[in-house]
Amino acid sequence: MDKIKVAVNGAAGKMGRHVISAIAGCRDLELTGAVDLVEVGVDAGKLAGREPLGVTVTANLAELLQQGETDVLVDFTTPMAIMKNIELALSQRVTPVVGTTGISEKDLDRIQSWVSRYKTGAIIAPNFALGAILMMKLAQVCARFFPQVEIIELHHNGKIDAPSGTAIKTAQLIAAARREQPPRPESLEKIPGTRGGNLEGIQIHSVRLPGLIAHQQVIFGGEGQTLTIKQDSLSRLSFMPGVLEAIRRAPTVKELVYGMENLLEL
């Protein structure tokens, strides 16, 4: 069986290094490219703490993809660059597997248009951790019985966008599953923003602190009781099984898949 050829964009970042290491440990995957604006010329294996892989970091994503040696592009970069990266990958008939967050509903519409134009699929995942995926699905089920809910998401202080893509996706799933729209309680904010952001009547609170990785609580409230679903990613290794699963499925994906729960058919 031919190996799936994978390039990693954001190779020098913390997630990129973990992805490179995970790919290097798989017999059915081959790292064919590593892209970043820093560590250019460094062997990707060295970045990942492994033996040299014979793939050096380049700063030119377009040039790499035009070589035609890539089946899947894994992207963990920034919200400011992600849309350009996705369009570039799709235009070269390379399937993007995207963990970069900050993608809006309008952005998803644009990605869908590119998927249709280039007849190439795309996988966009707010979170690759299996626990987080199950958390979102459980929240969707609970929303049928507990319509009043708030979300607290906590991430490391290097995360730029807020709220997280996971929190947004969770709120969207909850809103779609509600049987009724609960009344919104009156609120007098003595400090603006104290109650957090609001998405379809769901309050979302974002915390950014050193020492954190990725954490979320979904707190439902009902008559005389609360129900809390909590997920913690204590290491970036928690994302790797999901990333590898997405890479392996990517070559057969012919549409836009938003959320790993859809890829895993939960």
DSSP result, 110-166: HHHHHHHHHT--EEE-S---HHHHHHHHHHHHHTTT--EEEEEEEE-TT--SSS-HH
**For 13-28, how does the pLDDT look when each residue is reduced to its tens digit (9 = 90+)?**
999 999 999 999 999 9
What is the SS3 assignment for 29?
A: strand
Query: Of 5, 46, 156, 159, which residue is the catalytic one?
Result: 159
Assigned token pair, 206 = 């974002």
**CB contact at 8 A, 174 and 140:** yes
Q: Which one from 18, 137, 155, 215 is the annotated catalytic residue?
A: 155
Mean pLDDT of all residues in 225-240 = 97
User: Which domains, ranges and CATH numbers included, belong to the chain?
Assistant: 4-124+237-263 (3.40.50.720), 130-234 (3.30.360.10)
Distance CA 23, CA 181 (A): 44
φ and ψ at residue 206, rounded to 5 degrees: -115, 135
Please compute the mean of the pLDDT values over residues 234-253 and round it to a whole number: 96
Give mean pLDDT, residues 64-90. Answer: 96
Give 218's strand partners. 151, 229
Cα distances (angstroms) measured from residue 34 to each of 44, 73, 127: 7, 10, 22
- 156 belongs to the catalytic site: no
The reply to whether 5 belongs to the active site is no
Q: Are 206 and 164 spatial neighbours (Cβ–Cβ below 8 Å)? A: yes
Candidate from 79-88, 166-175, 176-185, 212-221 with smallest mean pLDDT: 176-185
Residue 219's SS3 state is strand
Which pLDDT does position 179 carry in this prediction? Answer: 86
